[in-house]
Structure 1
Amino acid sequence: MQKPDTPANEAQRLDALRRYDILDTPPERDFDDLVAIAAAVCDVPIALVSLIDEQRQWFKARVGLAAQQTPRELAFCAHAILSPDRTLGVPDARDDARFADNPLVVDDPNIRFYAGAPLVTPDGEALGTLCVIDTKPRELPAPQQQALTALSRQASRAMELRRVSGALARQLQESDWYERRLLQYQGELEASHAALEASNADLTELTRTDVLTGLPNRRAFALALEQAVARSHSAAPLQVAVLDIDHFKTINDVHGHAEGDRVLQAVADALRLYSAGPSGVARYGGEEFLMLFEGPLHQALVQCEFVREAIANLPLGLPLTVSIGLAGRRAGEDSAATFARADQALYAAKRGGRNRVVLADEG
């Protein structure tokens, strides 16, 4: 048996794994669904979401395998993470010098076939794999290989969304602590109660962050838009998009407001992950979000389509689509007029069947 090499970026890789705070956590539906789909698509008895730390291979999700972890030196996935940009395939482990006498091959679970697609962070660190295993030698056809790679990307995105959501939750907890301390301070200093209330009102007015999603709010976006207009000197192109979650009222009515809040947070997280093109994103209010682009209109249109597709593919366990209206700022036009035309385009997208991007009339 050949022990797996240590990746050249091992220190950075382990730091990234710790930032995700996912090891030894309870099962989660998003990951359980992904391994179930992988097993069905690839027609195998075993599928795993596997993470590699210093000493072990730990399974965040698994189907067809009782063990929760194995030593790292026995892990096929520890070999797979050495090449983050490709899937490791082992048609028959008995014919592979790396694995022929591996205890997982010669004994239970009697691995013969293995295919593992690395789980890669946005910075390129491979933290583990989404892998499929069979007790019979076999080859994985190209369409199933592509499906496995696609599912591994979804697993990576689910991990990133989980990390961002956790960071936001911690920020909210810290915010709650500071609010409680402030109330206590106000009680102790009744003589300056009125002054403190006025100060709090000023702080509230200055706050430019949406509490639920952690995104900038409408006021912050308006300021960013005005600053962009000032920078552009009516020469550089400037585009505004309004994004609305389709049938959001139905989500609240059928699944409850807690689920609605989860959807809003997931969309906000997706905008952070996938909207690399916009100069700014914000929550406008309710189920509406805003995006600001400082660049050509055609590039903004492509980015809006990318965001729309990314949100439609979020692993939330329920169907989710968005409609987007996009408007380019005209020379001499104030920001309110640009926003109004983007909003009109959004309603055109809604009338046109939803789950689409509509460009405002640029005549």
Structure 2
Amino acid sequence: MIKPAIPANESQRLAALQRYRILDTPREQEYEDLVTIARTICGTACGAVTLIDRERQWFKSMQGLEGEQTPREDAFCAHTILRPQELTVVEDARLDARFSGNPSVVGDPHIRFYAGAPLLSSDGYALGSLCVFDSVPGVLGQRQADALRALSRQVGRMMEMRMLRHELEHHQQEHDWYEARLGEYYLQLEQVNSELSEQTRTDPLTGLSNRRALATALSEAIERAGEVPPAVAIVDIDHFKLVNDIHGHAEGDRVLTEMAGVLRAQFAGRGMAARYGGEEFVILMPDTPLQQAELQCQYLRESVGLLPIGLPVTVSIGLAAHRAGESPQDTLQRADSALYQAKQDGRDRVVVAT
């Protein structure tokens, strides 16, 4: 085992870390979500957001293991910060002189694979790492490496926003300027989130498949369809914007997760339900006659209306069966036109595309 060296700019690096005022703060869901996405993309059991303090490695997020910190001299991420512009990838720690005698390698949790992307401050100092690791050897593909870098940049932006919020509390006279800066960072985060959602096949909020996974499944269902073509339905929660505006986004998220639960229960093993975007969901029903698909949609509509969530929630549904010769997108477009007609006709109904 080779203990990690101390960076030449250590005093400046530690000063940059302290400016963020993040050490020893509670866990936050935003960081947990990014680690979950990193683990999903890289296919590992464990992941973490780590910060390297003077003598310790502290975890802002840790998944797959317990604990809040470890000695710096034992930290894989203490090696990662030595190369701020590079990913550190260890395919088998037993074969790497830096880690072969590490307590986490020879004992629990028996780390073998590790990949860490440095977390950089706005002025370029390596503060820690977004890392994934596992107890079995592994490799990191190029797309996985690109995604891990993108996620580490997003963690950095979240830390920047956190620091800006503290500055806002102490500099109210400059409120408008700081608010504009926060807005810029939020827009950047939304853009990165959009990119990341295309790199994973699961919607983080609902646990359903996402748009990318649906596109693949629909194409495959069309290719292997027999005499009965697949049917697709687009489901839209009626007046969902009012839920967010009146009750708040947390309540809106609750409605979305309840809706996902109904879809999962009704179509598990008999098709696929995906979150298409916002309050829209898509149901794929392979080998399902159109009349039967319409009955299933009617049953879904009635089930949603009976949800015990304390809010009057209804859905409008547009249904279409795939036609020979048309593309998957054409089928979805016809279902979307039927959905539009359902809304025009008064909502809370199913309309079948002609």
- TM (norm. structure 2) is 0.52
Q: CA deviation at 1:252?
A: 3.9
Q: CA deviation at 1:29?
A: 1.2
Who is 2:19 aligned against?
Answer: 19
Q: CA deviation at 1:210?
A: 3.4
Range that drifts further, 92-101 or 160-169: 160-169
Determine which of 203, 208, 213 is the counterpart of 2:179. Answer: 213
Residues 1:112 and 1:255: Cα distance change in structure 2 (over 3 Å)? same
Question: Mapping of 1:49-128 within 5 angstroms?
Answer: 49-128=49-128
Q: CA deviation at 1:214?
A: 7.2
User: Taking every aligned residue pair, what percent have the same amino acid on both sides?
Assistant: 50
Residues 1:169 and 1:2: Cα distance change in structure 2 (over 3 Å)? same
Residues 1:70 and 1:209: Cα distance change in structure 2 (over 3 Å)? closer
Separation of aligned partners in 2, 1:112 and 1:47: 13
Q: CA deviation at 1:67?
A: 1.5
Contact 2:49 2:60 in 1 (8 A): yes
Give SS of 2:50's match: strand
Q: CA deviation at 1:169?
A: 2.0
Structure 1 runs not aligned, ≥5 long:
176-207, 216-246, 260-317, 320-363
Contact 1:168 1:214 in 2 (8 A): no
Question: Mapping of 1:200-279 within 5 angstroms?
Answer: 209-210=175-176, 213=179, 252-255=245-248
Contact 1:36 1:47 in 2 (8 A): yes
Structure 2 runs not aligned, ≥5 long:
182-239, 253-276, 279-354
State the Cα deviation string for residues 88-120 of structure 1 (Å, max 9, x = none).
Answer: 000000000010011010001100000000000
- Match of 1:255, as an amino acid? G
Who is 1:6 aligned against?
Answer: 6
Residues 1:58 and 1:209: Cα distance change in structure 2 (over 3 Å)? closer
Give SS of 2:57's match: strand
Residues 1:11 and 1:44: Cα distance change in structure 2 (over 3 Å)? same
Question: Mapping of 1:11-50 within 5 angstroms?
Answer: 11-50=11-50
Question: Mapping of 1:299-338 within 5 angstroms?
Answer: none
Give SS of 2:144's match: helix
Residues 1:41 and 1:209: Cα distance change in structure 2 (over 3 Å)? closer
Q: CA deviation at 1:171?
A: 2.8
Separation of aligned partners in 1, 2:129 and 2:241: 34
Q: CA deviation at 1:250?
A: 7.7
Separation of aligned partners in 1, 2:29 and 2:113: 26
Separation of aligned partners in 1, 2:179 and 2:241: 16
Give SS of 1:210's match: helix
Runs of 4+ in 1 over 3 A off after TM superposition: 208-212, 247-254
Pairs aligned (count) = 197
State the Cα deviation string for residues 184-218 of structure 1 (Å, max 9, x = none).
Answer: xxxxxxxxxxxxxxxxxxxxxxxx85399377xxx
Give SS of 2:5's match: coil
Q: CA deviation at 1:6?
A: 0.6
Q: CA deviation at 1:149?
A: 0.7
- Match of 1:7, as an amino acid? P
Contact 2:164 2:178 in 1 (8 A): no
Matched, 1:149 2:115: no
- Match of 2:176, as an amino acid? D
Give SS of 2:6's match: coil
State the Cα deviation string for residues 122-170 of structure 1 (Å, max 9, x = none).
Answer: 1100000000001001111111111111100101111111111121123
State the Cα deviation string for residues 246-303 of structure 1 (Å, max 9, x = none).
Answer: x99885445269x9xxxxxxxxxxxxxxxxxxxxxxxxxxxxxxxxxxxxxxxxxxxx
RMSD: 2.8
